[in-house]
Amino acid sequence: MANAAAPAPRANMGEPAPRLDARLKVTGEARYASDFPVSNPAFAYLVTSTIAKGRITALDLAEARAVPGVLEILTHENTGDLKAVAFGSASTSTQQLGPEIDHDGQIVAVVLADTFEAARDAARRVRVTYAAATPSATFGAQGLTEDDATKVSERIKEAPPRRRHRCGICDAHSAPQSDRALHHDLRLARQPADHL
């Protein structure tokens, strides 16, 4: 289908493929997860790493657990290995809750409570102790190598081709789980916000 709104692509551009969700999103009709009313939800608030590289050496949750309304606090100490969640052909990235820290802002604890405010209050009372290492994130940082810039285009041609994903098409009537029971087989994944 020719797309009158998009310019003709040049050699370094992709195709102007029309998006199935475009009209819904620009008109505000698209429904996101938080648009579905849920009765009696629990609320989660994240505690994130304040170092960019290193490891968690201690977690003190006593003060956080004492906040009224807190249901559970998930950390690397009470969760197993986190597995990637399958969403059809969509990609997903996972991160562990520790003890290894790979980037600033890595989730190190998830506080679950019966109100958002309680979850947030408890989250700031979680005490994390780190052994910080020096990250390598700037030009000239230790461990960096330099490659010949003229070889870049060759490397891109050798890279595996990107898979063409179907736009997110799910059962429009599927509702998120309203049961507050917690399963030990927790799967933590980071997804870009896509509508249902």
State yes or no: residue 119 binds other proteins (CB under 8 A): no
* DSSP classification of residue 171: -
Select 44 or 189, whichever has its Cβ closest to other proteins: 44
Structural tokens at position 58: 């201690």
Separation between Cα atoms, residue 174 and residue 182, nearest integer Å? 20
Select 120 or 195, whichever has its Cβ closest to other proteins: 120
* DSSP classification of residue 114: S
Among 21, 120, 132, 194, binds other proteins (CB under 8 A): 120
State yes or no: residue 100 binds other proteins (CB under 8 A): no
User: From start to end of the chain, where are the E strands?
Assistant: 43-48, 54-60, 70-74, 100-101, 107-113, 127-132
Select 76 or 121, whichever has its Cβ closest to other proteins: 121
Nearest distance in Å: CB 50, other proteins:
4
- Give residue 143's region: left, alpha or beta (phi > 0; psi -120 to 50): left
Within 27-86, which residues bind other proteins (CB under 8 A)?
Answer: 50
CA atoms within 13 A on the CB side of 141: 8
Nearest distance in Å: CB 117, other proteins:
7
Q: Which uninterrupted H or E stretch holds 120? A: helix 116-123
Mark the segment that binds other proteins (CB under 8 A) among 77-85, 106-114, 117-125, 151-159. 117-125
Residues that bind other proteins (CB under 8 A): 50, 117, 120-121, 124
